[in-house]
Amino acid sequence: MICELCGKEMDRLFTVQIESTILKVCKDCSKFGNQAKAGGKEPANKLVIENRLQNRERRMKTKDVYEQQEETIELMVDYPKKIKDTREALGWKQEELATKMGEKLSIINKLERGDMRPDDALIHKVEKTLGIKITERVAVIKPEKAAVAKGGMSLSDFIKKE
């Protein structure tokens, strides 16, 4: 059985009341509550509780940020032109686009000039409002480890000798 508080797998669980909630917890977690009354309400669905505990455990796992990825999502190089062309094709002025996106006119100006790199939330607003994609999947170039093992390139490899 799984402790509903910490998620440990235990042979025996105790029914306790923690903050007006009845939970089945392990001996270690039982100190956080008071012994529940015999007629107390039981958790509605054990499957829901187990599912939540599994989701919490999945979120708590550490991820290797240096793990080699095959692709990454990047902002397109020509996103300002694409935004402007699509807006003009729809017959909208910059003011209309700003109103529909809930942004300031100056933000739209900067986007179309390419003076500003939008954050993820703004990218999502632009894509949703205009019905276009301004991001693309880009293959990650993996460095060759063999070249480094053989000594790799040094500064003298780049310097032109006479």
- pLDDT attached to residue 41: 55
- pLDDT attached to residue 142: 63
Alpha-carbon span 160 to 162, nearest angstrom:
7
pLDDT band at 155 (very low <50, low <70, confident <90, very high): confident
Give the pTM. Answer: 0.47
User: Cα–Cα distances in Å, from 117 out to 14, 70, 98, 106?
Assistant: 54, 24, 16, 13
- pLDDT attached to residue 122: 94
Do 97 and 46 lie in one domain? The reply is no
Residue 119: inside a domain, yes or no? yes
Phi-psi category of residue 114: left, alpha or beta, with phi > 0 → left and psi -120 to 50 → alpha: left
- pLDDT attached to residue 124: 94
Over residues 93-118, the pLDDT tens digits come to 999 999 999 999 999 999 999 999 99
Percent of the chain with pLDDT over 90: 39
Do 122 and 88 lie in one domain? The reply is yes
Question: Partners of 26 in the beta sheet?
Answer: none
Q: What's the average model confidence in pLDDT over 141-146?
A: 60
Residue 154 burial (CB count, 10 A):
8
Residue 25 burial (CB count, 10 A):
22
Q: Return the CATH number at 82.
A: 1.10.260.40
Do 135 and 75 lie in one domain? The reply is yes
Residue 73 burial (CB count, 10 A):
10
Over residues 2-44, the pLDDT tens digits come to 898 898 888 889 899 888 788 889 988 988 888 876 555 555 5
CA atoms within 13 A on the CB side of 6: 12
User: Cα–Cα distances in Å, from 129 out to 15, 81, 112, 115?
Assistant: 51, 16, 15, 20
Residue 96: inside a domain, yes or no? yes
Q: Which domain holds residue 21?
A: 14-60
Do 46 and 105 lie in one domain? The reply is no
